[in-house]
Amino acid sequence: MCARPISVDDDAVGSAGFGWTPVCNLDRLRAETIIRVHSAGLDLLVIWNEGDVVACDRACPHEQADLALGEVRAGRLFCPRHAASFDLRDGAINPGWPSPPLRLYAIRITGAQICVEARE
């Protein structure tokens, strides 16, 4: 089961809805793979993961490295500092690391617009 709900709503183009913040365009994300965004006072990343869109905290939960400098491979986000990796389905860190999981956020795709539901 996915811990990160995703909805696609092609009929609601331009209306992100309450709590949903438009953060980037789907074509741009496909081209860049990782995009830094700021929403609801939070520094987040939006990630293209093998046809799926994921939103997560920008800071690594281990020692706060900038995950925007990391790498996405095989469904995982690799931290640039210690090379721990996070499962992009649920945020779980690979075994052996004393760290909480990476926090993921709900996303919604409206037309070509990606929206994030971020709350502090």
Instruction: Name the residue nearer to ligand FES (CB basis): 26 or 65.
Output: 65
Nearer to ligand FES, 28 or 82 (CB): 82
Site string for ligand FES, 75-114 (x = CB under 6 A): ----x-xx-x------------------------------
Binding residues for ligand FES, total number by CB under 6 A: 8
Nearer to ligand FES, 16 or 44 (CB): 44
* 118 vs 120: CA distance, rounded Å: 7
Burial of 87 from C-beta contacts in 10 A (0-12 / 13-18 / 19+): middle
**Residues of span 37-76 touching ligand FES by CB under 6 A:** 60, 62-63, 65
Nearest to 101 by CA among 61, 63, 70: 61
Is 26 within 8 Å of 109 (Cβ atoms)? yes
